[in-house]
Each structure stands twice: as C-alpha cells, then as structure tokens.
C-alpha cells in the first residue's frame, strides 16, 4: 500500500488538506497526518502529534525533528506534503536522507514566504537563505501568490508551480441557515447598525489595532454613531486589543467574537470587510468575504493585490487610520460603488474556488507518483 504524510505546525491546517486526503484514500492510499497538539484530524488513518513550535529559534523544534524523522523512517512514505514555515523546514530536513534511499517525494506548499517586498531586513537575512537552501531538498515547491512564485524562480527546487490558493468552498459559504436579520439578532446587533468585519488571529501581523484607531476617528461622525466592529479570531493580543479599545473610548463598538465556524453567516450580517494585515500569503478570509459579496477594503500587500484590484473589486489603502477612514466613508456613502465592487469581486474569486484549485493539486500529485 502506498502512503502519504501531511505535515503542518497546526492541526487546524488539516481543513485545507481534507479534500486531498479523501482523494488519496479513494486511490487506496494510507493517509497520515502529523502536527502539534491533540486536536483530532478527520479522514486520516494515523495521526501523530509532535512538538513543532512556530518560532524557528525554539528548542522544541530539535525534539520535533527527531520525532518526525522516526515517523518517516518507520512508515516508509511515498509522499510527504509539508505546510506552514516550520512544517516545511522540519519536514524537508527530516526527509532528506529518505529522498535518496527510499525515493520519497517531498512537496512543500509555501503559504507566504516571510521575505517579501517591504519585509523587515531581518526576515530576508534569516528566512531567504534557509528557503533557498531547502529548495534543493524539495521535489515540488507550491506557491500561492504571484510575488512568491516570481521570487522562487531563483530557487533550485525540482519543480516550482503556482496554484491560486488553498481553495475556498463557495458552495458551503452559500449554504447559510440564518438570514441577515436573525444573525444580527444573535450577535446583539441592531438592524440599522453599520457593521464592519475583520477575520484573523489576534497577532501583530494581522494589524487589528489599525482598525481600532480608525474606529475612534469615525464613531463621532454624523451617521456613524451606530458603527460596530466585529473581530473573529483568537490570539495573544486579545487583552491588549481590548484595553486599547477601552482607552480609545470605543469598547461599546467593538465585539470580540473569538474563533468562529460560521464566517459565511457573519459576512452576510456585515456591511463591510476590512483586512489591514502587514503580511499575508493569500487570505482565505478575504476570499470568503468576496464570495459572500461583502465590499472589501484591504492593505497594499502581497496576496491582497492578487485578489483585489483597487477601484474595481474593492479598495486598497495604505496602513494609515486616516486613509482607511476615508475608504470606509466612501463605501458607506456610495452604495452603487459597493454593489459594483461586490459583483466584480464575486466573479474574480471564482478562480480561487475549490472546484478550480482541487484539479490543479491532483495534477501535481499525479505527476509525481504513478497510482496503482
């Protein structure tokens, strides 16, 4: 029996792999999953928990390397598919000897290189040489945005391919069980509230603080007394952001909703989606908002610019509260413009739908292995 191992530094990442895990099982393969934590991953034969840390400087990753190497050696996999930066580093290092001895194929999906246009110098000094070196130990390097694909052309991986994201299930997003009104009622929102939504971990690179500062500029504007800001996500900055909202006098306008599995319904209850991240690979949350026909404002960064064309499918602005405030007012007061953006965005995002991405991923797998 042929075998594949999916590897990431979070079990939550399994949701992007499930369609392919099911497909491999249909081909008669053994499908295993490896990540930190004890969260159960569906559609796999064996699940392994190892101590991968997100920080490349954590000593936990030394232990994780040896744990992973043992798993690979004992199972004699045909394919290792790595996701996330540290999953990619540890996976390719641990599998290096097996590539020579047992011909294991190593695939790495880069969900956004840490070196990018405008990235801090330290990112280039630390991550760029590591990724360039590890490319030699990679049979297929998959990039999900145009900037990373162009950058990777200087690497010496077996193959370098571009796939438009991880695939968003548009059909699932469309199957909402609650109307806009009932969802607002559930979230303690009024029918005439102007609701802005952001989705993402409460960590520095998601830059939620910028929206809080912008909200403090807008809440006293005529017609915006009822502005409300929803944040879906968990993370280390939750208490910091709550204190900031309180200090800015906007705590009554900010709602921390935590991790949610009903993003489609929350999108339907919102008037505007804002994503002002400092760094993205290709934002699933942004694609979901586009698919749900919510007008979008986002930051001018790699990944976002793959999805949004400013003035056509949304607004792209610099990370300044005043610019973001102007864009919010522009869309709130311009319903015909917002309608134009949502129509165009819904059409654009179709090429990132799972139905488009999944066949491309299957082709990659098929090129690497002969299925028996």
Residues 297 and 310 in one domain: yes
Copy the structure tokens of residue 206: 């998601």
At 305 the pLDDT is 96
The parent domain of residue 313 ranges over 170-352
The number of domains in the chain is 2
Neighbours of 207 (CB within 10 A): 18
Please check whether residue 214 is in contact with residue 248, taking contact to mean a CB–CB distance below 8 angstroms: no
CA dist., res. 98 & res. 299, Å (int): 42
Residues 148 and 20 in one domain: yes
> Quick check: 136 pLDDT over 90?
yes
Residues 127 and 176 in one domain: no
> Quick check: 372 pLDDT over 50?
no
Copy the structure tokens of residue 310: 């400013």
Task: Read off the pLDDT band of 235 (50, 70, 90).
Answer: very high
Neighbours of 366 (CB within 10 A): 11
Alpha helices in 95-207 (DSSP H): 96-101, 121-134, 146-152, 170-174, 180-186
At 95 the pLDDT is 96
At 19 the pLDDT is 92
CA dist., res. 329 & res. 320, Å (int): 14
Copy the structure tokens of residue 179: 């109307």
Contacts 24+ apart (CB under 8 A), 217-226: 217/321, 217/322, 217/325, 218/325, 218/328, 218/329, 219/249, 219/250, 219/253, 221/329, 223/332, 224/194, 224/332, 226/190, 226/192, 226/193, 226/194
Which strands form 3-7's sheet, in the order they lie side by side?
Answer: 46-49, 30-35, 3-7, 79-83, 105-110, 140-143, 159-162
Copy the structure tokens of residue 143: 């990039």
Residues 157 and 80 in one domain: yes
Task: Read off the pLDDT band of 370 (50, 70, 90).
Answer: low
* Average pLDDT value for residue range 266-274: 96
CA dist., res. 47 & res. 11, Å (int): 10
Task: Read off the pLDDT band of 57 (50, 70, 90).
Answer: confident
Task: Determine which of 26-35, 96-105, 253-262, 342-351 has the lowest per-residue pLDDT on average.
Answer: 96-105
Residues 174 and 154 in one domain: no
Residues 200 and 319 in one domain: yes
Neighbours of 344 (CB within 10 A): 17
Positive or negative: CA dihedral 118, 120, 125, 128: negative
> Quick check: 249 pLDDT over 80?
yes
Specify the CATH number for the domain of residue 260. 3.40.50.2000
Question: Which residues, in sequence order, are bridge partners of residue 254?
Answer: 229
What would the pLDDT profile of 192-217 be if each residue is shown by its tens digit? Answer: 999 999 999 999 999 999 999 999 99
At 244 the pLDDT is 97
Please check whether residue 68 is in contact with residue 96, taking contact to mean a CB–CB distance below 8 angstroms: no
User: What's the chain's average pLDDT?
Assistant: 92
At 371 the pLDDT is 45
CA within 13 Å, CB half, 160: 19
Copy the structure tokens of residue 120: 């801090």
Q: What is the CA radius of gyration of the chain?
A: 22
Residues 57 and 70 in one domain: yes
Please check whether residue 338 is in contact with residue 230, taking contact to mean a CB–CB distance below 8 angstroms: no
Task: Confirm whether pTM is higher than 0.95.
Answer: no
> Quick check: 14 pLDDT over 90?
no
Q: What is the DSSP string of 60-122?
A: HHHHHHHHHHHHHHHHT-SEEEEESHHHHHHHHHHTHHHHHHT--EEEEEESS-S--TT--HH
CA distances from 21 to 3, 44, 104, 145 (A): 11, 7, 18, 23
* Average pLDDT value for residue range 12-27: 89
Which secondary-structure segment (H or E) carries 346?
A: helix 335-348
CA dist., res. 57 & res. 180, Å (int): 46
Residues 215 and 300 in one domain: yes
Residues 286 and 194 in one domain: yes
Please check whether residue 321 is in contact with residue 213, taking contact to mean a CB–CB distance below 8 angstroms: yes
Residues 287 and 205 in one domain: yes
Residues 206 and 264 in one domain: yes
> Quick check: 174 pLDDT over 80?
no
Residues 335 and 215 in one domain: yes
């Amino acid at each position: 029996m042929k075998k594949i191992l999916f590897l990431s530094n979070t079990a939550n990442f399994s949701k992007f792999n499930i369609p392919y895990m099911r497909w491999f099982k249909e081909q008669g393969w053994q499908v295993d999953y490896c990540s930190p934590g004890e969260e159960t991953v569906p559609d796999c034969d064996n699940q392994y928990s190892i101590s991968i840390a997100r920080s490349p400087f954590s000593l936990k990753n030394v232990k994780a390397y040896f744990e992973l190497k043992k798993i690979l050696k004992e199972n004699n996999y045909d394919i290792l598919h790595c996701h996330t930066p540290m999953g990619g580093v540890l996976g390719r290092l641990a599998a290096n000897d097996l590539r020579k001895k047992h011909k294991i194929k190593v695939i790495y999906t880069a969900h956004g290189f840490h070196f990018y246009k405008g990235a801090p110098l330290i990112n280039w000094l630390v991550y760029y040489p590591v990724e360039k070196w590890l490319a030699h130990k990679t049979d297929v390097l998959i990039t999900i945005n145009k900037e990373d694909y162009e950058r990777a052309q200087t690497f010496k991986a077996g193959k370098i391919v571009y796939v438009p994201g991880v695939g968003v299930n548009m059909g699932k997003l469309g199957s909402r069980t609650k109307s806009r009104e009932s969802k607002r009622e559930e979230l303690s929102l009024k029918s005439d509230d102007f609701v802005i939504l952001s989705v993402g971990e409460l960590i520095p690179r998601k830059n939620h603080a910028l929206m809080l500062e912008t909200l403090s500029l807008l809440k006293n504007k005529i017609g915006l007394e009822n502005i409300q800001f929803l944040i879906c996500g968990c993370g280390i900055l939750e208490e910091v952001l709550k204190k900031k909202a309180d200090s800015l006098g906007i705590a009554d306008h900010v709602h921390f909703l935590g991790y949610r599995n009903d993003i489609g319904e929350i999108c339907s209850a919102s008037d505007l989606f804002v994503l002002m991240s400092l760094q993205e690979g290709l934002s699933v949350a942004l694609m979901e908002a586009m698919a749900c026909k919510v007008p979008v404002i986002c930051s001018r960064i790699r990944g976002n610019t793959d999805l949004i064309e400013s003035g056509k499918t949304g607004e792209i602005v610099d990370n300044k509260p005043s610019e973001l405030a102007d864009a919010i007012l522009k869309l709130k007061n311009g319903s015909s413009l917002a309608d134009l953006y949502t129509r165009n965005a819904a059409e654009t995002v179709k090429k990132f739908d799972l139905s488009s991405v999944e066949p491309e991923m299957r082709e990659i797998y098929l090129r690497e292995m002969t299925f028996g």
